Amino acid sequence: MPVASRKPSLAVRPFEESDYGPMVDYFLDSEPLVLTGMGIDTRKMLGREEWLRHLLMDHQKPDAQRDRFYLAWIRDDDLVGHSSINQIELGKEAHFHLHLWKADMRGAGVGAELVRLSAAFYIERFGFKRLVCEPYANNPAPNRVLPKAGFRFVKRYRTVPTTLSFEQDVNRFELDADDCTGSTLSVDHSIMPTSS
């Protein structure tokens, strides 16, 4: 009897309040060495309750006033990761972040597709002209996946990229809105909000 193979269905949607707990647990349950490999200074991480309190307060704010906006990464109805944007300048640009929580899912092309879907979502919702992503230069996966998802390398420089980071060399990548049209076609609009 033939066995049908099925491509996993991938989608993105804005975070609901219940999504923040699993995200905080993803960071707090990761080994310190893994976090360091992403450029995170573990001493700067908050405890679970305090971190969640900050996140849920930010969640209530209008887009223009938010520190971060989060998208859930959904694979076959399961929450498997997230992307986020900060340094949000409506109509102009924001900084993009990416995390596939399940290590055994990485390296199979899932991240590239979810980055494409996320980028299309952010550009459509916030009217960005571009997205910027500045991964730690010594973290291979994001540096490989971003060009696969259409971002172009701009430069390498030394900075403290987020409030959780140590000083590090980052590679700056940018995705122009004009280069994101193909991805928009594959965004699942049925799960997109009707208003901002």
Q: Would you tell me which residues interact with ligand COA (CB under 6 A)?
A: 38, 98-100, 106-112, 135-136, 139-142, 144-145, 148
Of the pair 141, 160, the CB lying nearest ligand COA is at: 141
Structural tokens at position 140: 């291979």
Hey, how many other C-beta atoms are within 10 angstroms of the C-beta on 43?
Answer: 8
The rounded distance, in Å, linking the Cα atoms of 172 and 169 is 10
Of the pair 29, 64, the CB lying nearest ligand COA is at: 29
Closest-CA residue to 11 (of 81, 103, 69, 59): 81
Which residue number places its CB atom closest to ligand COA? 111
DSSP H helical ranges for 29-173 = 32-37, 48-59, 110-126, 140-148
> Taking the complex as a whole, how short is the minimal distance between the CB of residue 131 and ligand COA, in angstroms?
13
> Taking the complex as a whole, how short is the minimal distance between the CB of residue 109 and ligand COA, in angstroms?
4
Of the pair 27, 126, the CB lying nearest ligand COA is at: 27
Of the pair 75, 194, the CB lying nearest ligand COA is at: 75
> Taking the complex as a whole, how short is the minimal distance between the CB of residue 196 and ligand COA, in angstroms?
26
The rounded distance, in Å, linking the Cα atoms of 154 and 46 is 32
Distances (CA, A) of 196 to 151, 172, 193: 25, 28, 7
> Taking the complex as a whole, how short is the minimal distance between the CB of residue 145 and ligand COA, in angstroms?
4
